[in-house]
Structure 1
Amino acid sequence: MILRLWSGWTTAEQARAYDQVLDSEVAPGIVDRDLPGLEGFEVWHRVAQERRDRHEFLTAMRFTDLAAVSEFTGGDPHTSVVPARARAVLDHFDAHSRHYELRRRHV
Structure 2
Amino acid sequence: MITRIWHGWATHKNADSYETIVRTEVIPGILAKKINGFRRIELMRRERQEDVEFVTVMWFDNLDAVKAFVGPDYETAYVPNNARQALARFDAQAQRYDILDVQDNG
**TM-score grouping bracket, smaller chain normalisation:** over 0.9
CA distances 1:44-88 after superposition (whole Å, capped 9, x unpaired): 11012xxx1310110000000111101100221101111000000
Runs of 4+ in 1 over 3 A off after TM superposition: none
TM-score (norm 1): 0.93
1:7 — aligned with what?
7
- Number of positions where the alignment pairs a residue of Structure 1 with one of Structure 2: 104
Distance in 2 between the 1:4 and 1:10 partners?
20
For the residue of structure 1 that corresponds to 2:42, the secondary structure is: strand
For the residue of structure 2 that corresponds to 1:77, the secondary structure is: coil
For the residue of structure 2 that corresponds to 1:24, the secondary structure is: helix
Is 1:103 equivalent to 2:97 in the alignment?
A: no
Unaligned runs of 5+ in 1: none
1:19 — aligned with what?
19
Q: What amino acid does structure 1 have at the position aligned with 2:37?
A: G
Q: What amino acid does structure 2 have at the position aligned with 1:32?
A: A
Distance in 2 between the 1:74 and 1:92 partners?
23
TM-score (norm 2): 0.94
Unaligned runs of 5+ in 2: none
Equivalent runs, 1:4-83 vs 2, <5 Å:
4-48=4-48, 52-83=49-80
What's the C-alpha RMSD, in Å, of the aligned pairs? Answer: 0.9
Q: What amino acid does structure 2 have at the position aligned with 1:21?
A: I
Q: How far does residue 106 in structure 1 lie from its aligned partner after superposition?
A: 1.9
